[in-house]
Chains A and B, each alone.
Chain A
Amino acid sequence: MMEVLYDAATRIRSDRVNTWKENGGRVVGYTCSYVPSEVFHASGILPYRIRGIETESMEIADAYFGPYICTFPKCVLQLAGKGKYNFLDGAIITPGCDSMRRLDECWRKAGDTIPGIVPPFFYYFDVPHKSTGHGSRWFRQEIVNLIAALEQQFGVKVTDEKLHDSIRLYNKGRALLKELEDLRAKDVVTISGTDAFAVAMAGTAMPRDEYTKHLENLVDELKKKKSKSKDTRKRIMIIGSISDDLSLVQLVEESGQAVVVAENLCFGVRDEGNVVDESGDPVDALGKAYLGESTCPRMYGKYKERLATLKSIIERSRVDAVVMQNIRFCDLHGSENGLFERDLEKEGIPCIRLEREYGPLVETGRLRMRIDAFFERLYSHPSRQETVHDMEAV
């Protein structure tokens, strides 16, 4: 079970994707958590969140993107240029941020010189930057347009009934992931952060029906799992910009001093988003849920809301310290991390900010040194939990 999920989380063309394609299935890639997966599922298409892993060089990406661009879309372009995404029948670009949205032109123009790398259905999904009033009306229309485009391109019919079925299925996954999060919040943590992150990511890269079954089994198993009586590891939360490689979580956990009990990263549980209303108009419900909470700093002016979300997760999962990461040139997450650090440290929650290049952890040594020093800092001060307990004792 874990093997299947790991396979989907760590390989671009996983076994599950291969099987799906061999059986004549269609795959549409997307690049941002604001794209509603249910729409594809209801069209019988496998939605696949486009990844940057397995990148080995950058020569194609560097020919189109400038030097001051986040390495994630660069990796995506490089992989596309190398034909790694030739299995995609479609790709959805969004204005998630400036680096990501320029993937549109760079990918298309690269296709002029490298034939066959641009999927036949190449679609721009325009997500607004505000979630109420005209913003939500715009977004709703974008979903309607996307459905129409899918119907035309792939000769399918997306009915309300099918959308409702897909919403129910995705919601089931969301509920299970929520259970997993609750299990991770317990005193003794029975699943490593690395495993949990892989599990959450797998959901964006394999058929949902099968994924949900695996997830169900995993949660059942974890519930039954006998655990040690005491867990003395520091409880860490990882937040920040796009990150779809397990190595950062591994780096935090490998010394055995810490366990990652929660994340708020662009991939993982945040990608799953909110529970979608199962009654009423399904497009309305999708629009509301996907645009609803301003989870990404691209929704400007909602810092306080995001801080509140962060604090509630810290409370729920009883987080001792927060590791904040951003890919270099991600000003949005990078700067917001600066604010989070200011406001969380004020409340006695130690934080560390890491700016890094995306991809195979080229800077592992340097990151290791900083994480080690951060742990020393954690262990040389009484942890937040201990302090709370002491106060209760008094």
Chain B
Amino acid sequence: MTLVAGCDVGSLTSKAVIMKDNQLVGIGVIKSLSDPQDSADSAMNLALKNAGCSLSDIKYCVGTGYGRERISFVNEAKSEIACHGKGALWLVPSVRTVIDIGGQDCKVIRIDKDGVVEKFITNDKCASGTGRFLEVMAKVLNISLDELGDLTEKTETPITFASMCTVWAQADIIKYLNSGHSVEDIGAGINAAMAKRVAMLAGAVKPEKDVCMTGGVAKNKGVVSTLEKVMGVRIRKVRKADPQIAGAIGAALFSKARLNGGGAR
């Protein structure tokens, strides 16, 4: 059977997947390097190694993410929006709304039953509402991102935070730490601020069920549980694969569609 690939070069991590018969056969996730081509090469090499094949076996590869046009082995470039929509549908077939929060951006995508994008929105402000916000805050609290995610369920009294601005929120955190508030209350407050920001963005595309989350922040339990409360929907868990690689999966599915004839829809 033919092998197809998808490659998603992000600002923080780069992902490549290889698929055969609609199944994942190789995955490569690396920390992004300064040059998109280098990042793509490393991620792809890792995926090829995992799949036990070489680049020449790949019949078609779609690239997405930053600098997608400049990757040498890519046959065609597609936007992250389309890839994330398509990838999410593969991960959770019932999904109609995808919330993808990566390191530097946040997207909410509404798709139809075939994974075609109906409406989308992305954050157009600074770092608020992105993974970067959580990273900065976790650093101020001197805990890991995973630990930050666990704090929400440990308290009933989260602090209300300045969710608008990463810089100002930092000042607030330091203030609360100094005045003796618990790390749980502060951490839960951070997760809640993040969730509310994302919920507002999501509201603008009129989300439909089922809703799922992809991207690195999907791993933050606190954000997910608060988001469920604020949006009043259950957010479907992605179990089939790491939600971080949804974009790369979508890209690979576009490759497959291209080989099966017709446009990459």
A→B interface (CB under 8 Å): 345, 354-356, 363, 365-366, 369-370, 372-373, 376-377, 379-381
Contact = CB atoms under 8 A, between A and B. Distances in A.
Contacts of A366: 105, 122, 124
B78 A376 contact: yes
Contact of A369 (B116, B118, B119, B122): B122
B65 to A, nearest CB: 9
Contacts of B265: 380
Interface stretch (B24-32, B79-87, B135-143, B193-201): B79-87
B124 A373 contact: no
A377 B66 contact: no
B127 to A, nearest CB: 13
The dominant DSSP class at the A interface is: helix
Q: Which of B81, B263, B265 has the most CB of A within 10 A?
A: B81
B105 A373 contact: no
A356 B123 CA distance: 11
Contacts of A369: 79-81, 122
B82 A376 contact: yes
A376 B79 CA distance: 8
B80 A377 contact: no
Interface residues of B, number: 16
Nearest to B81: A373
A310 B20 CA distance: 48
A381 B116 contact: yes
Contact of B80 (A354, A373, A381): A373
Given A355-B124, A381-B116, A373 B66 contact: no
B211 interface: no
Nearest to B118: A377
B227 interface: no
Contact of A380 (B105, B117, B119): B117
Nearest to B123: A366
Contacts of A355: 124
A258 to B, nearest CB: 14
Contacts of A377: 81-82, 116-118, 120
A380 B124 contact: no
A22 B203 CA distance: 57
25 contacts: A355-B124, A356-B124, A365-B66, A366-B105, A366-B122, A366-B124, A369-B80, A369-B81, A370-B81, A370-B122, A372-B79, A373-B79, A373-B80, A373-B120, A376-B78, A376-B82, A377-B81, A377-B82, A377-B116, A377-B118, A377-B120, A379-B263, A380-B116, A380-B117, A381-B116
Contacts of A379: 263
B81 A376 contact: yes
Nearest to A375: B79
A366 B265 CA distance: 23
B124 A354 contact: yes
Given A376-B79, A377-B82, A377-B117, 4 more contacts: A345-B119, A370-B122, A372-B79, A379-B263
Interface in B59-89: 66, 78-82
A368 to B, nearest CB: 9
A377 B82 CA distance: 8
A71 B105 CA distance: 23
A271 B119 CA distance: 32
A243 to B, nearest CB: 16
A377 B120 CA distance: 9
A355 B263 CA distance: 31
Contacts of A363: 124
A345 B110 CA distance: 14
Given A355-B124, A366-B105, A366-B122, A373 B116 contact: no
Contacts of B105: 366
A356 B125 CA distance: 9
Nearest to A363: B124
Q: Which of B66, B80, B116, B124 has the most CB of A within 10 A?
A: B124
Which 10 pairs, one residue from A and one from B, show the smallest C-beta to C-beta distance?
A: A373-B81, A373-B79, A372-B79, A376-B82, A377-B117, A380-B116, A380-B265, A355-B124, A376-B79, A370-B122
A366 B121 CA distance: 12
A372 B263 CA distance: 16
A380 B117 CA distance: 8
Nearest to A357: B124
A248 to B, nearest CB: 14
Nearest to A342: B206
Contacts of B118: 377
A372 B82 CA distance: 10
A282 to B, nearest CB: 45
Q: Which of A365, A370, A373 has the most CB of B within 10 A?
A: A373
A380 B122 CA distance: 20
Contacts of A376: 78-79, 81-82, 117
A373 to B, nearest CB: 3
A363 B117 CA distance: 23
A15 B171 CA distance: 51
B107 to A, nearest CB: 9
Contacts of A345: 119
Nearest to B265: A380
Contacts of B120: 373, 377
A321 to B, nearest CB: 13
A379 B81 CA distance: 14
Contacts of A372: 79
A95 B146 CA distance: 52
Interface string B143-171: 00000000000000000000000000000
Interface in B207-258: none
A59 B225 CA distance: 44
A377 B117 CA distance: 6
Contacts of B119: 345
A369 B118 CA distance: 16
A1 B82 CA distance: 42
Interface in B93-144: 105, 116-120, 122, 124
